[in-house]
Each structure stands twice: as structure tokens, then as C-alpha cells.
Structure 1
């Protein structure tokens, strides 16, 4: 079978953090470098904070995630703080000048209650004037329509196993898309199937939640080159400031 630890290791293989290659990674790296204290919400295996410390970041770096297997990989580096929990359970008070949610982690906040509670907790964790940076997939791009078995990724994991990985939509309910992620042998025999729901917020709805949580949008981009959001944008990238 394909364990949680296997899945966490595969995530790193499929999603290498490299600002020199991936514009989104470079975007966040610039923000992290400029911040004295950083909270990475939904840090996963900790790749962003690992690199920040490797590059000489001297300040406080904290990663928060509910996935124990991912945190076990993150904790291979001990000069970063790693905390098990969700955005809604964060209990810091004015401790950071930057909070981030990378890798579309913001979309895992599916219900209105999750969004409200999480945004309040993130705001409380920021110092006055602190910034919250995150991205969501633009709903008009309808990214989920490409999540099909025939778009599988083929990869060889660290144990030398050839694998196929694909996503398949199970249902769309308003702005929430539920899908299955399958990890399989090369012949398609499933080793593991995970079910996930993501919320695709449009700009007005997103900004209403931010305003309610007492954030002010400082910058909004439609791509990692900091271009404007247009009907053709695949991303809604936001930097919000704590009021």
C-alpha cells in the first residue's frame, strides 16, 4: 500500500520548491526575504521555509499544518518551528509581519465558517500592518476541467517505484469542486485514492471575506509576473494587509 509518509515524499517529488524555475516560488521568496517573522499556513513538507533558512533568513520562521506525515518531513530541519494545526486553530497574537498560504492551500477553506474563523486567526497572528499573501485558482479558468485520468503524471518515487498520478472530478457544487487523487501502478492499478474539496472564489466573494476579517487588499495580481487579473487569468494572487 501507499502510506501517508509515501504520499508526503511523493508530494515533494511532484512539487519541488525552486524559485529559479517556478515563478510562484520566486514571488513568495521575495516576500519571505523581506519579512522578519513569517508564518506559513498550510506549510506541508516545509520546502519554502527550508529554503529560506538555507538562504540565510535570520528571523523567526514558523510552519503550520494539520498533516502529520508532511510535518515529519518538515521537521528534518530543526531550526524552523513546526506546529500541527489548521489556520482556524492558530493562536498567535501579533507575532508575525508576514503570513502565507502557498500551493493554493487557501482553497482548502471550503465553508464560510472555515473561511471566517481562519481569516480571523491569521489576522490576529499578524502585527498591525502585517501582510497575508496567498493565491487561488481563478474560477473562470475552470482548472478542474483538465483533471482527468488521461492527464496523468508519470514519475518514479524515491524507492524506485514507477507511478502514475491523476486527479478526477467527483462533483461540482456551486463554487466547491470535489475530486479524487489517485496514485497507481503503471498499469493503472490504484495504490491510494484521496478525496479533496476545493473552493473556487471569485474576486467579489473573496474580498467580502477579507473585508469582514478586517483585511485591506494591498495588491492583486493575475499572474506571477504581477500582471492584472483579467478574464483570462488562471490565478487570483492577493497580498492583504491587516488593518
Structure 2
């Protein structure tokens, strides 16, 4: 799993948690996982642990894996964190045949910008799942062209942090090429300080996702266009995928 700088400063993790609270996508993934009662769940790219903690609270045995140690530090500090096994690393560290369900949420799948990296990650996930195990993840539908709204005007929003400080967050696209979008996330503080975090995301089509899963030995069960299980193209501009080994 590629390392990026989203949480290179602990203040970025604080701002992320303040902005990104439990929402419909979390409800969706929890419902998918809960189709397997008491599941052994892998949350790959668990970040600051919002969904991992929710799945553990629902009675699942959860392992959260992320290469970002600042994000994991934030996750470990949250109530209920002792219910989750937190691992600093990538999919390559996963044990064989140890999970019933694997999830990659908050568009983690898009951080695998290279086809080889993506194929290796899918191979690791298949290896880590038991026979018949399932994978669920989200990826933005390139047809929705969501990056066109990642500009300082349309993306600007105010976020109140736990200490009462109000910061401003906005995005700025830096490149669009060959299915990948480079952008920088900015957080401005009242003092005038701005924290900036660059990243690159890969926008794969539904057909590309299906082909990559098939090559890795998965069978696609369902693909939705949004969190209410709408058809592709009729929902939230998402490609929400559920597949099994």
C-alpha cells in the first residue's frame, strides 16, 4: 500500500476526524460485513479507525492495517481501541487465510495508482481471505468527474476542531493524466498557517475494476453507484464493489 502524506502532521488527523464523521458509507460497509455474523474482518487502509472501531463494537473481530503511523496513533487513542488489532504495514504483511471479509473504504483503493501495485494488493487480499471470503471497497466513478469540483471555491468548507478552533479546508487539482488525478489538500488556521498535503488518486472504470478482480481470482457479486445500492451511474458517483474468492 503506497505511503502518502495525508497524516504526516498529527493535526491533519485531528482535522480529518472532525470533518469525516460516521456517515452513509460506514453504514453500508458495516451492513455488508454484518452479513457474516462475528466475522474476522480486515480493514486495509484503516486510517484513524472510524469504521474499524464501529465494526468491533458490532461484535466483529477486526484487524486494522495502515502504513501511516500518525493515523494509527490517532486510532489507538480512541475509546474502544483495545478491541481492534492495529498493524502498521501494508497488505504484504497479511497472514494467509485469516479473514472472512476485507474492506477498503474512504477510496483507499484509488491510492494504488499503478496497475502492478493494485494487482499485488488484490493478490495479497485473496491470499489473506478464507475460501469464499469477500472483499468490499469503494472507488469514485471517473464518469462523474468529481475532481472538477476539487477547487478552492467549490471544495471550501469550515471545520470546527475539538478544541473549538475553526479551520478552513479546500482542495486544488494539480494534474489530470492517464486516469490519475493529482491534488493538494489545504487546511488553513486562524493564525494564517496552512498545512498542505499532496496526493495522487487513480480513477478506474467499472470495467477496469472488474477485469482486475477477475485476474486476481475474485468473482464480482455486486457493483453499485452509491450508498443506497443504486445502479452504477444513478447514485453518488461511486463504484461500490463487493466480490468473493
- What TM-score results when the alignment is normalised by the length of structure 1? 0.90
Report the counterpart of residue 140 of structure 2 in structure 1. Answer: 137
Report the Cα offset of residue 233 of structure 1: 5.5
Unaligned runs of 5+ in 2: 1-6
Report the counterpart of residue 14 of structure 1 in structure 2. Answer: 19
Q: From the superposition, tell whether residues 149 and 85 of structure 1 become closer, same or farther in structure 2 (CA, over 3 Å).
A: same
Superposition map of 1:67-216 within 5 A: 67-76=68-77, 77-87=81-91, 89-150=92-153, 151-186=155-190, 189-216=192-219
Q: What RMSD over aligned residues (CA atoms) do the two structures have, in Å?
A: 1.7
Report the Cα offset of residue 190 of structure 1: 4.4
Return structure 1 stretches of 4+ with deviation > 6 angstroms.
Answer: none
* The 10-residue stretch of structure 1 (25-34 or 228-237) with the greater mean CA deviation from structure 2: 228-237
Counterparts of 1:90 and 1:199, CA distance in 2: 23
Report the Cα offset of residue 74 of structure 1: 1.3
For 2:46, what is the secondary structure of its paired residue? coil
Report the counterpart of residue 44 of structure 2 in structure 1. Answer: 41
Unaligned runs of 5+ in 1: none
Matched, 1:228 2:228: no
- What TM-score results when the alignment is normalised by the length of structure 2? 0.90
Q: State how many pairs are aligned.
A: 233
Counterparts of 1:80 and 1:231, CA distance in 2: 35
- Give CA-to-partner distance per residue, 1:84-109, whole Å, 9 cap, x none: 1123x233111011000011111001
